Amino acid sequence: MGEYAPLVQRLGGQVIEIAPDSPHHISPMDLQMNANDDESPLSMKADFLLSLCELIVGGREGLQPIEKTVIDRCVRLVYREMALGLETAKTPLLQDLYEELLKQPEPEARRVATALELYCTGSLNLFNHPTNVNLNSRVVCIVLKGLGENLRKIAMHTTNEFVTAAVNANHKAGIATWCYPAVGRGGRGRNGGRQMKFTNSPYETMMQQVPRYERPEPVKAPEGSRCHGCPYWRGIGCVTC
């Protein structure tokens, strides 16, 4: 359990623990078709899933152009019924995207699907479940402490999308939202490795920096005065002056 969880519980808030043995689940495939009036929700979800697949596939060069095209095509296929507004439409799971990738003729699609397999039908299928939590409480704490390094990056990316959707929904309803990410400070983690960067926000970098005390510049006496050059001057003349 996270360090803020007891405080949130005492305040009557909701604690969402994302871990392999937790009953709480957040699906990266959640989509609200009427969430944003300015941009296409489907295009924004496709952009998010592209970045998620790039995080999962890994590598120095990331996703290749053909792989991005195939993923975008599959995203639109799995959300087709929701985009058409059909009553029978259901929110897809990550496995639906995985299975749609396997149907594509391009070998690049199979490469991406193979990378997703571990998180869909493999032992790390934590995010292949429907979302069963909400952010209706006044205070909510999302705990990722029980995750390993491989899942933690994906969890941070997914929960960031989940919280962003809630913030946008609150903003549309005229409700203010405050988010306090509890990221570690310091240039290196506990095991000597560099701190992971989960978002592109400059605030995360700022919060990870260790505060350093800087000694203020000494105030000197005005030049030409009797106290100029005196090491004991503190803003007023001393009795010896």
Dump pLDDT digits (tens) for 204-219: 555 555 555 566 666 7
Start-to-end CA span in the chain (Å) = 63
Range of the domain at 15: 5-183
Q: Quick one: pLDDT at residue 46?
A: 93
How many angstroms separate the CA atoms of 80 and 16, rounded?
30
CB-neighbour burial class of residue 67 (10 A; exposed 0-12, middle 13-18, buried 19+)? buried
Report yes or no on 137 lying in a domain.
Answer: yes
Q: Is residue 75 part of a domain?
A: yes
Q: Between 118 and 227, whose confidence is greater?
A: 118
Please tell me the distance from the alpha carbon of residue 168 to that of residue 122, in angstroms, as a whole number.
33
Any domain includes 147: yes
Q: Give CA–CA dist 233/210, Å, rounded.
A: 33
Q: How confident is the model at residue 238 (pLDDT cuts 50, 70, 90)?
A: low
pLDDT in tens, 121-159: 998 999 999 999 887 888 999 998 888 888 888 998 998
- In whole angstroms, give the CA distance from residue 95 to residue 98: 5
* Residue 230 maps to a domain: no
Amino acid at 111: R
Residue range 174-186: mean pLDDT, rounded: 70
The number of residues making up the chain comes to 241
- Distances in Å between the Cα of 19 and the Cα atoms of 22, 60, 139, 143, 226 are 5, 28, 20, 8, 70
In a domain, 212, yes or no: no
Asked whether residue 241 is domain-assigned, the answer is no
In a domain, 208, yes or no: no
Q: How many CB atoms lie within 10 A of CB 92?
A: 22
Total tally of structural domains belonging to the chain:
1
Q: What is the SS3 assignment for 50? A: helix
Whether 237 maps to a domain, the answer reads: no
The Cα–Cα gap between 124 and 99 comes to 17
Cα–Cα distance measured from residue 34 to residue 169, given in angstroms and rounded to the nearest whole number: 10
